[in-house]
Amino acid sequence: MKFPAFDYARPAGLDAALDLLAGEAAVLSGGQSLSPMMGFRVARPEKLVDISRLSALRGAALEPDGTLVIGAAVTHAMIEDGALPGPLGGFLARVAGGIAYRAIRNRGTIGGSLCQADPAADWPCVMSLLDAVLVLRRAGGERQVPVRAFLLGHLMTAIEPGELLTVIRIPPQPGARFGMAKSTRKLGEFAEGIAAACLTPGAARVTLGALEVPPATLAVDPALVTGPQPARLTSSPLYAAVDAALKAADATDPAGYRHHLAVLTGCRALIEAAQP
């Protein structure tokens, strides 16, 4: 379980990093997914470019129009500890605090998690809900890709060789309330069911992760969310609505437990969003 040999570079600045990435190289951010994969020799990068200390990627700011901008190398722990300004900071701090264990949060980064694109991870689900836009830079250029176009499937993204995710841009969400639900057998494990929900006046949507496909964002009739719920969610109109919407998305085996967990966590996230 030792790493195979590789070259390692820790460039001092973003441009130097992009120049290095223009050759054959893999990005090392927090390394919380990559290093075990290298230990198992499933991942065998010849060269690692360590971006974890690039100050340009380690900050967060609120733009005048309310857009929240997060550097890709911001760690889960920084977010958990309140590094994000603005009205979304509290919700995202809570999301971050639920990721794995503190030791992993200390190193793991939001950009790394998005690029790893594990469907059961927290950030792909939450950023899909928030319609985040990802800034991908390469030596001499950049493009902006909506997260829903970025996430292509299990461990698959639209990033191209030479590109580096530098910034996550989250548009303002006026009047929104949020909810999050996860289903794990053990705290800190990758979720078997994960959902994030957003309730705005007149609209409700929920993003379901831990599917075989990228996170699925479903619109739900807000009246089903805000009304009283029966004690057994499985017999609620809300459950039926999310169930039907997920079946229509054709992302799961509709008879299976994972489908049920996706719907159940989706309902729980929506109900939490509706809590006063």
| Binding residues vs another protein (CB under 8 A) | 1-5, 36, 40-41, 183, 185-190, 193, 230-234, 257, 260-261, 264
Cα(153)–Cα(165) distance, rounded to whole angstroms?
A: 17
Look up residue 29 and give its two tokens.
């951010």
d(C-alpha 24, C-alpha 47), whole Å: 7
The phi, psi pair for 211, rounded to 5°, reads -105, 175
In whole angstroms, the minimum distance from the beta carbon of 126 to another protein comes to: 21
Instruction: Kindly state the smallest distance separating residue 50's Cβ from another protein, in Å.
Output: 19
- What is the β-pairing status of strands 193-200 and 203-209? antiparallel
Smallest separation, CB 111 to another protein (Å) = 21
The DSSP 8-state label assigned to residue 119 in this structure reads T
The span from the CA of 75 to the CA of 111, in Å, is 9
C-beta closer to another protein: residue 3 or 106? 3
Q: 104 vs 135, which CB is nearer to another protein?
A: 104
Using the minimum distance from each CB to another protein, give the nearer residue, 36 or 85: 36
| Sign of torsion over alpha carbons 232, 244, 190, 87 | negative
In 3-state terms, what secondary structure has residue 234? helix
The nearest distance, CB 5 to another protein, in angstroms, is 7
The two structure tokens encoding residue 53: 């200390």
Residue 169 CB, nearest distance to another protein (Å)? 31
C-beta closer to another protein: residue 137 or 260: 260
Q: Which is nearer to another protein, 35 or 67 (CB)?
A: 35
